[in-house]
């Protein structure tokens, strides 16, 4: 069968293979669109080095790997980007990292404020736009109270920006309606860590990759979505071929193709699988008894139970009992459990495939439990590591507490002591912070739909494309006074907004990102933003002052905000008071905790002698928990909330590809990537035959919520009964079909599983040839 997404060039490499090869190389630039049918001018080729006046250290704008880059500037423009050989990525960059050099100069940058008049966005001055925004917010607050307004942010804002917004809305305006797109990607990981260890964020670091001799990669196509982390895994495998790689994924992805053992699980059945693996750990006698007796406690809901209760619980999850549900043969489950438990050091890596489920929190808790129970924790190479999707979802949103239920450094708005601490630190009267959590993301857009939320400030994200069941919430955006602050226009959100404000991005402003291993690092301002665009911090400060909160928001430059924030952190186990701008400008990032300017940063948490927050001389100090013990949670596999049936017999799952990122607002307009169109739907040959589908045919994917057309890609990369597409395309909105079901603990939506039907589109009878 044909594989239209793996076209071959004349030199024998596929488009994707070529991109990856070039992404790892140096001195290579793109000369034109990527085409399987063009001549030499359409290929990547070496060119003379671009003249550069100055090189500056920085960080990639894209995923949560947080690769160090060297940024070349000439005549006030970014002209080249290369990997920083002294950073953790050792000079490597993927294709998106290389193309950081082009993202500031695409044709669709937002250049000036716009206000909607009679259904059309019209150019306005900054004063006109800000006066209107402030008037509408003040009117709503006066008439309906502070919970009638909201902030919706992003894991792509700098930490200084998210911190300022959170402080303004919670300690100033008086609402906890502070949300953001990390609710869509990392909330289950955050709740998982918080409920197991008492504090959020991974305990390990990238260096653990260099010491693991077993990798358990689940819910992550690391090779395509975090390719530089993947290359480090491959370095370990190349240097130590005995290193064992287990991949759990419904698709035979590029990651899975490298696996020693691939478990092609049905989406949404991870809880059953991990219970089965724990069953095997116990059966094999591979439980770390010291951990059980000294460092763990066991919970079923609100009830504290014993290890024997866990033993009894997993009896119903033997490999034979879960094999049909998971779609994985029992012997493969046993092999995975044996390899995981008996390795010298096992490292788990996961991301959205685990988090974006209605049982995402349960799956995260069980992944952590697998490490704790077997003792694969707190040693070089032994750790449970959730990879972040965005460049600052961890430091900017999770750490600052910029979500509706949270306050900085893992504090909660429902906790009176936590509220009192933050009121004192922020210098506001007792009782200022509302004890009631705000609306989580899906609830927020439903409140907009009802008219309960009147005004929203939305920064650096695209909910008009990225939300599940998106048509419902696009209508809610239309009917709300919605301010979209973005570097790009039009997007599927700015096209709906009441006001659009142009934002600076990346090196057009300065600030701090934090990536997956708790490494804070600095992005310098190197060039001016286009047109009338302003930094997000400048916009927030202007809004705060006009709203009358100038006395609260006294820190108004990135450095001033960072200095305030790091001193706030000193009153928590997150303590990174020692991470100053001066250090960040010199060093290749620093891992927190880092309490003093002399401290080198912390590779592994909860270890006395290594983690400065850990006390005593025992093996571990789980200082986030009142009893000093990490929690192993007992969870059952729950029934599916959007089950397959005769009308909707297939499971749809969504994700990313190597070349693009999120909703393509950035990568979609980069010239080098314009010809990469992720508008296909992967379907297995058996399903295609059953439903009369030919390769390349236009098909309709229909769910209980809506439908969308795609081009069929018949491939054995997906298993029978499962179809897959990306959420990248602004033209073909897969989120018209996805479910707005949320995890009961994290409130994260279930993007990875919904029931659909697939049928040929009327009039589509021939296969796609191009």
Catalytic member of 185, 205, 422, 754: 185
- The DSSP code sequence of 407-430 is ETTTEETT-HHHHHHHHHHHT--T
Catalytic member of 156, 356, 357, 390: 390
Separation CA 14–CA 183 (nearest Å): 36
Separation CA 116–CA 498 (nearest Å): 5
For this structure, is 1 an active site residue? no
Residue stretches of the chain with pLDDT short of 50: 1-13, 15, 17-47, 767-770
Separation CA 235–CA 90 (nearest Å): 12
Q: What integer pLDDT is reported at residue 766 of this predicted model?
A: 53
Q: How many CB atoms lie within 10 A of CB 436?
A: 12
Under 8 Å between Cβ of 203 and 174: no
Q: How many CB atoms lie within 10 A of CB 50?
A: 12
Catalytic member of 20, 57, 96, 170: 96
Quickly tell me which residue has 């933003």 as its tokens: 529
Question: Residue 435 has what DSSP assignment?
Answer: S
For this structure, is 567 an active site residue? no
Burial class (CB in 10 A: 0-12, 13-18, 19+), 690: middle
For this structure, is 515 an active site residue? no
Instruction: Find the angle CA(87)-CA(91)-CA(97) to the nearest 5 degrees.
Output: 100
Q: What is the 3-state secondary structure (H, E, C) of 324-390?
A: HHHCCCHHHHHHHHHHHHHCCCEEEEECHHHHCCCCHHHHHHHHHHHHHHHCCCCECCEEEEECCCC
Separation CA 367–CA 674 (nearest Å): 38
For this structure, is 185 an active site residue? yes
Q: What integer pLDDT is reported at residue 765 of this predicted model?
A: 63
* Sign of the torsion angle spanned by Cα atoms 260, 264, 267, 272: negative
Catalytic member of 70, 225, 352, 458: 352
Q: For 265, phi and psi rounded to 5 degrees?
A: -65, 150
Burial class (CB in 10 A: 0-12, 13-18, 19+), 577: buried
Q: How far apart are the first and last CA of the chain?
A: 15
Under 8 Å between Cβ of 556 and 539: no
Instruction: Find the angle CA(366)-CA(258)-CA(274) to the nearest 5 degrees.
Output: 15
Catalytic member of 67, 130, 186, 594: 186
Q: Residue 642 has which token pair?
A: 């959007």
Q: Please, which residues have CB within 8 angstroms of residue 120's CB and are 6 or more apart in sequence?
A: none
What is the arrangement of strands in the sheet containing 519-523, beginning at the earlier edge strand? 511-514, 519-523, 590-591
Catalytic member of 378, 389, 394, 589: 389
Q: Please, which residues have CB within 8 angstroms of residue 738's CB and are 6 or more apart in sequence?
A: 468, 469, 470, 652, 654, 703, 705, 749, 750, 751, 754
Q: What integer pLDDT is reported at residue 594 of this predicted model?
A: 98
Any idea of the CA torsion for 15, 18, 22, 25, to the nearest 10 degrees?
A: 160
pTM to 2 decimals? 0.94
């Amino acid at each position: 069968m044909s594989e239209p997404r793996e076209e071959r060039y004349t030199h024998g490499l596929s488009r994707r293979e070529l991109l990856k090869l070039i992404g790892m190389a140096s001195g290579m630039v793109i000369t034109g669109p990527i085409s399987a049918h063009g001549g030499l001018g359409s290929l990547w080729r070496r060119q003379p080095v671009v003249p550069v006046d100055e090189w500056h250290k920085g960080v990639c704008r894209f995923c949560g790997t947080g690769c160090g880059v060297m940024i070349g500037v000439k005549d006030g423009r970014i002209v080249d980007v290369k990997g920083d050989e002294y950073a953790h990525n050792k000079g490597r960059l993927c294709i998106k990292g290389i193309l950081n050099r082009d993202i500031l100069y695409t044709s669709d940058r937002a250049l000036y404020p716009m206000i909607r008049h009679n259904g059309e966005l019209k150019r306005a001055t900054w004063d006109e736009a800000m006066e209107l925004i402030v008037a509408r917010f003040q009117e709503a607050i006066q008439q309906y109270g502070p919970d009638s307004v909201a902030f919706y942010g992003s894991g792509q804002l700098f930490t200084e920006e998210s911190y300022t917004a959170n402080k303004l809305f919670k300690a100033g305006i008086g609402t906890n309606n502070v949300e953001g797109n990390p609710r869509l990607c990392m909330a289950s990981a955050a709740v998982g860590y918080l409920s197991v260890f008492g504090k959020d964020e991974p305990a390990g670091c990238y260096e653990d990759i260099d010491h693991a001799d077993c990798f358990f990669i689940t819910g992550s196509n690391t090779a395509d979505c975090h390719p530089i982390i993947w290359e480090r895994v491959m370095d370990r495998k190349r240097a130590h071929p005995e290193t064992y790689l287990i991949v759990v994924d419904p698709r035979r992805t590029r990651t899975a193709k490298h696996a020693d053992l691939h478990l092609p699980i049905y989406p949404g059945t991870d809880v059953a699988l991990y219970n089965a693996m724990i069953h095997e750990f116990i059966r094999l006698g591979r439980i770390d008894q010291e951990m059980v007796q000294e460092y763990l406690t066991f919970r079923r809901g609100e009830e504290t139970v014993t290890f024997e209760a866990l033993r009894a619980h997993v009896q119903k999850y033997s490999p034979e009992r879960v094999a049909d549900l998971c779609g994985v043969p029992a012997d493969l489950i046993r092999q995975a459990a044996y390899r995981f438990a008996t390795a010298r050091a096992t490292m788990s890596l996961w991301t959205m495939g685990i988090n974006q489920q209605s049982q995402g929190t349960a799956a995260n808790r069980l992944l952590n439990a697998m490490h704790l129970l077997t003792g694969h924790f707190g040693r070089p190479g032994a750790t449970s590591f959730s990879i972040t999707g965005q460049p600052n979802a961890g430091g900017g949103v999770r750490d600052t507490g910029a979500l509706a239920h949270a306050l900085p450094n893992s504090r909660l708005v429902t906790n009176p002591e936590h509220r009192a601490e933050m009121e004192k630190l922020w210098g506001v009267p007792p009782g200022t912070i509302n004890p009631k959590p705000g609306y989580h993301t899906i609830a927020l857009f439903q409140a907009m739909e009802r008219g309960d939320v009147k005004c929203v400030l939305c920064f650096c994200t695209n909910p008009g494309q990225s939300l599940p069941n998106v048509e419902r919430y696009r209508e809610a955006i239309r009917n709300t006074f919605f301010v979209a602050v973005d570097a790009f226009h039009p997007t599927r959100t700015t096209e709906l907004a009441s006001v659009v404000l142009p934002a600076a991005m990346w090196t057009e402003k300065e600030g701090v990102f934090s990536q997956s291993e708790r490494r804070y690092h600095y992005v310098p301002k190197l060039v001016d933003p286009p047109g009338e665009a302003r930094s997000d911090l400048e916009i927030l400060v202007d809004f705060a002052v006009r709203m009358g909160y100038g006395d609260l928001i006294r820190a108004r430059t990135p450095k001033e905000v960072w200095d305030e924030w790091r001193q706030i952190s000193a009153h928590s186990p997150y303590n990174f008071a020692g991470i100053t701008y001066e250090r960040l400008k010199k060093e290749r990032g620093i891992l927190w905790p880092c309490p003093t300017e002399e401290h080198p940063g912390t590779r592994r948490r909860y270890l006395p002698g290594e983690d400065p927050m850990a006390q005593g001389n025992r093996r571990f100090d789980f200082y986030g928990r009142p009893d000093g013990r990490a929690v192993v949670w007992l969870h059952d596999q729950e029934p599916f909330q959007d089950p397959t049936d005769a009308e909707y017999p297939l499971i749809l799952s969504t994700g990313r590809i190597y070349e693009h990122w999120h909703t393509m607002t950035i990568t979609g307009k980069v010239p080098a990537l314009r010809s990469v169109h992720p508008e296909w739907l992967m379907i297995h040959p058996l399903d295609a035959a059953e439903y009369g589908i030919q390769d390349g045919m236009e098909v309709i994917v229909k769910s209980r919520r809506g439908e969308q057309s795609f081009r069929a890609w018949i491939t054995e990369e997906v298993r029978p009964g499962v179809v897959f597409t990306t959420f990248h395309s602004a033209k073909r909105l897969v989120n018209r079909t996805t479910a707005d079901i949320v995890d009961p603990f994290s409130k994260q939506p279930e993007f990875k599983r919904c029931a659909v039907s697939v049928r040929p589109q009327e009039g589509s009878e021939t296969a796609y040839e191009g």
